[in-house]
Amino acid sequence: MFQSITWGTYLHYLFIIIPVYYAVVLSLYFRQEVVGLFTKRKLRRKLEGDGDLLDAP
């Protein structure tokens, strides 16, 4: 009886924790990717902006 209860709660926790874990990992990974893209774009825009400012009279 006790074993079946712990096994049931274990499966319950697995079904809850695994999707949450994967959601957190994927969100962190995608957030890093998006931040990397944005920082690259910002750096590129900053460099282009500095070039434009230098080119301006």
- pLDDT, tens digit only, all 57 positions of the chain: 556 667 788 888 888 999 899 999 998 888 888 788 878 877 777 766 665 555 555
Six token digits for residue 12:
């319950």
Q: Is 49 exposed, middle or buried (0-12, 13-18, 19+ CB in 10 A)?
A: exposed
Q: How many domains does the chain have?
A: 1
Residue 26: inside a domain, yes or no? yes
Six token digits for residue 9:
């709660």
Residue 10: inside a domain, yes or no? no
Residue 16: inside a domain, yes or no? no
Q: Is 3 exposed, middle or buried (0-12, 13-18, 19+ CB in 10 A)?
A: exposed
Question: Would you say the pTM of this structure is higher than 0.85?
Answer: no
Residue 28: inside a domain, yes or no? yes
DSSP secondary structure letter of residue 3 = H
Residue 14: inside a domain, yes or no? no
Residue 42: inside a domain, yes or no? yes
Residue 37: inside a domain, yes or no? yes
**Residue range(s) defining the domain that contains residue 31:** 22-57
- The Cα–Cα gap between 51 and 19 comes to 47
